[in-house]
Amino acid sequence: MSPLERAQAILGGSAGNLVEWYDWFAYAAFSLYFAKAFFPNGDQTSQLLQNAAVFAVGFLARPLGAWIFGLYADRAGRKAALTLSVALMCLGSLIVALVPGYDRIGVAAPAILTLARLLQGLSVGGEYGASATYMSEVAGKHRRGFWSSFQFVTLIGGQLSALAVLIVLQRLLTPAQLDAWGWRIPFAIGAALAVVVFAIQMGLEESAAFEAVKHRALPRSTTFDLIRRHPRETAVIVVLSSGGSLAFYCYTTYMQKYLTNSGHFSRDVATLVTAASLVIYLLIQPLMGWLGDLIGRTRLMALGFALGALTVWPIMTAIAATRDPAVALGLICLALVFLTGYTAVNAVVKAELFPAPVRALGVALPYALANAIFGGTAEYVALDFKKAHHESGFFIYVAIVMAVAAVTAVFMGDPRALGLIEED
């Protein structure tokens, strides 16, 4: 592939990733406004806690989505899995946009919200493995870390887009209008964008690695083969994803609430600080991906996790103590720089551990399991510690999980030496 063709394939494969994660994070970004529409009882922390439980439920569907779509991507192709997952996300977002509140249909409202979140969880669970696999396979040998880093560029871009919509709506609508009906707008936008991306992805070319497997008529991907033949690789991805997912949700989706619930900032200022940190986080992904190609991707990952584990407590404590938005932004960005050591190269490191016939399943399933256990519960655990007046316990929890991931990255070896991704 020429550099232009490679860039087009990467951008086309990541377009759905952006929209999927926009829809996924719109729930977190707007939960401050719609939590009481579905959970009217209790104070703000109690409402957010109930809403965070629904957020976590969506993560429980991600392993199932990863399993279904991982098998599908290994059998029908990466392109087929990408288009199907974005269609499912469209449906979930449309339901959230249209479901009446608790005051109109009672307990059916949070039940339908949970169903929509489950559909979104299935979609995102499938999207990650198909996207990571496709982008790693079309990235090329020499700049695989750089090109595959755009998976997280689009992931962050989706979250940033959700926050951008929130900022615009905060300027155009009153808080009362946002609480009443304005929070539905981003979900309607997400459903419409998913239709556009579906059309774009229908024009993608399948990866050469999958085409080679298909033409050789190798055995189909199965869960049994994954566990029996690749137990070490599967366990490694679970541990790495646990540390990365927990830290990611701590410093991104939960941070907006932490700034208002534990810090000294209004909802508008918290949104702006979070959005600014995500812009910087997005921009440094390709730089770190390039650095990983240069010094070794697992080495970069180990360093990022180690520094993250050592600094999470002082950074989070300092954020809660400051009243200066610029200081809070600087502290968040420092934490995100360390986290980028994982996020920029995680997709390619995981893809390089598996042969093509089980690659999508091998990348997706252990990642989704770790996300369900650690990422999906991050907000709930943090708010639970907050409610119990032991908020520092959450910081210790994050540090321990990241430290275990750092040790794993040190001893896992360099998957580039396996040479399992066939060159295009």
pLDDT tens string 193-229? 888 888 877 777 777 777 776 666 555 667 777 888 8
Can you identify the CATH homologous superfamily of domain 3-418? MFS general substrate transporter like domains (1.20.1250.20)
Token output for 11? 């951008």
N-terminal to C-terminal alpha carbon distance within the chain: 7
Which residues of the chain, if any, have pLDDT below 70?
1-2, 42-48, 142, 213-221, 417-424
- Domain ranges in the chain? 3-418
Closest CA to 337 of 288, 286, 404: 288
Structure tokens at 327: 């200081």
| pLDDT given at position 150 | 85
DSSP assignment of 20-57? HHHHHHHHHHHHHHHHHHH--SS-HHHHHHHHHHHHHH
Q: At what angle do helices 392-411 and 231-251 cross, to 10 degrees?
A: 140
pLDDT digits (tens, 9 = 90+) for 104-140: 888 888 888 888 888 888 888 888 888 888 887 777 7
- Tokens standing for residue 282: 């997005």
Question: How much is the pTM?
Answer: 0.81
Distance CA 374, CA 167 (A): 28
- The pLDDT of residue 244 is 95
Half-sphere exposure at residue 25, Cβ-oriented, CA atoms within 13 angstroms: 29
C-alpha to C-alpha distances, 297 to 14, 120, 137, 282, 416, nearest whole angstrom: 21, 31, 16, 18, 9
Distance (Å, whole) CA 27 – CA 95: 12
Are the beta carbons of 276 and 144 closer than 8 angstroms?
no
- For 177-188, the pLDDT digits (tens) are 988 889 999 999
**Matching residue, tokens 């880093």:** 149
Structure tokens at 34: 């719609």
101 alpha carbon, distance to own chain's centre: 27
Q: Which of 62, 71, 135 is nearest to 361 (CA)?
A: 71
d(C-alpha 138, C-alpha 8), whole Å: 10
pLDDT at 218: 53
Which of 261-297 are b and which e, b meaning 16 or more Cβ less than 10 Å from the residue's Cβ?
bbbbbebeebbbbbbbbbebbbebbbebbbbbbeeeb
Distances 378 to 243, 283, 371 between C-alpha atoms, Å: 11, 25, 9
* Alpha-carbon span 248 to 244, nearest angstrom: 6
Q: Which helix (H) or strand (E) holds 416?
A: none
Contact 223, 67 (CB under 8 A): yes
Distances (CA, A) of 46 to 41, 374, 384, 392: 8, 21, 10, 19
List C-alpha distances in Å: 367 to 155, 238, 318, 351, 418.
Answer: 15, 6, 31, 11, 20
Q: Which secondary structure element, helix H or strand E, spans residue 359, and what is its range?
A: helix 359-370
Q: Report the distance separating Cα 155 and Cα 248, nearest Å.
A: 11
Beta-carbon contacts of residue 419 (< 8 Å; ≥ 6 apart): none
The confidence score (pLDDT) of residue 336 equals 97
For the residues of 197-251, what is the DSSP string, one character each? HHHHHTTPPPPHHHHHHHHHTPPPP-HHHHHHH-HHHHHHHHHHHHHHHHHHHHH
Nearest Cα to Cα of residue 255 among 127, 390, 163? 163
Please answer whether residues 202 and 16 qualify as being in contact, where contact means their C-beta atoms are separated by less than 8 angstroms: no
Tokens 């033949």 locate to 229
- Fill in the amino acid letter for 99: V
Closest listed residue to residue 222, CA positions, set 372, 365, 82:
365
